[in-house]
Amino acid sequence: MADPDTATVEHLRAARARVLERIAVACARSGRRPEDVTLVAVSKTVPSERLVAAVAAGLDLLGENRVQEAAAKVSLVPGAQWHLVGPLQANKARRAVELFAAIESVDSVELARRLGRLALEAGRAPLPVFLQVNVDADPAKAGFLPAELEASLPGSIGPAEGGLELVGLMTIGRLVASADEARPTFADLRALSERLRGEAPGLGAGLSMGMSDDFEVAVEEGATHVRVGRALFGERPSP
């Protein structure tokens, strides 16, 4: 494989430094430590050659929203770890367990159980997952409704299932005019996590929230993982 283009690596290194600096400033504002926030570089639509440069620039944790797209890229981008951040169909679950270090978009009890079974079968370490929550009950979005999760989590998805490590909760902020309008969604996810962990000790404290337009607000509200695409890689081609 050819070495990545130097100018591309430098460009991505600078973009990464800018995003990490913004995370650090948001941490300072809210009394948090930057090392407690993990940057997931969302690389959907970004070609694998550019991702080789991204890894060289230090962006080695990549997020993809489609199993098929990730499957085409994984072997071409050595040294990267991959998170699935988009919807997962049951028939692609086995492939997802092979490809991804973590699945951030588990949106049903059924899917959680299936992934746990597949991870056990694969004999791998417990698969880290986030449960996706549709905090604002937006009909256009996937995820558990908060009430649904409060009713079902303690009994239905737990370490007893085996195969899974419940890292925490994930949400997608509302599409809003200013980042600050997304704040209540993030605050609600954090409050939900605190309530749930009281009843379901198997649930970790991870909070995956915040994207290019609102990650600083998400960090202020406690995000442990931010999923940033455009602020690193530039605008995506329109579909």
Ligand X SMILES: *Cc1c(COP(=O)(O)O)cnc(C)c1O
Binding residues vs ligand X (CB under 6 A): 42, 44, 65, 85-86, 172, 211-213, 227-231
Please identify, using beta-carbon distances, which residue of 65 and 200 lies nearer to ligand X.
65
Please identify, using beta-carbon distances, which residue of 37 and 85 lies nearer to ligand X.
85
Nearest-approach distance from CB 227 to ligand X, in angstroms = 4
Nearest-approach distance from CB 34 to ligand X, in angstroms = 19
Nearest-approach distance from CB 209 to ligand X, in angstroms = 9
CA–centroid distance for 152 within its chain: 22
Q: What is the DSSP code string of the chain?
A: -PPPPHHHHHHHHHHHHHHHHHHHHHHHHTT--GGG-EEEEE-TT--HHHHHHHHHTT--EEEES-HHHHHHHHTTSTT-EEEE-S---GGGHHHHHHH-SEEEEE-SHHHHHHHHHHHHHTTPSPEEEEEEB-TT--TTS-SB-HHHHHHHHHHHSSGGG-SEEEEEEE------SSGGGGHHHHHHHHHHHHHHHHH-TTS--EEE---TTTHHHHHHTT-SEEEESHHHH-PPPP-
Nearest-approach distance from CB 85 to ligand X, in angstroms = 4
CA–centroid distance for 96 within its chain: 14
Using CB positions, name the residue nearest to ligand X. Answer: 229
Best CA proximity match to 39, nearest among 197, 216, 172 = 216
Nearest-approach distance from CB 105 to ligand X, in angstroms = 7
Please identify, using beta-carbon distances, which residue of 45 and 156 lies nearer to ligand X.
45
Nearest-approach distance from CB 64 to ligand X, in angstroms = 9
Please identify, using beta-carbon distances, which residue of 24 and 142 lies nearer to ligand X.
142
Please identify, using beta-carbon distances, which residue of 9 and 46 lies nearer to ligand X.
46
Please identify, using beta-carbon distances, which residue of 67 and 200 lies nearer to ligand X.
67
Please identify, using beta-carbon distances, which residue of 56 and 233 lies nearer to ligand X.
233
Nearest-approach distance from CB 231 to ligand X, in angstroms = 6
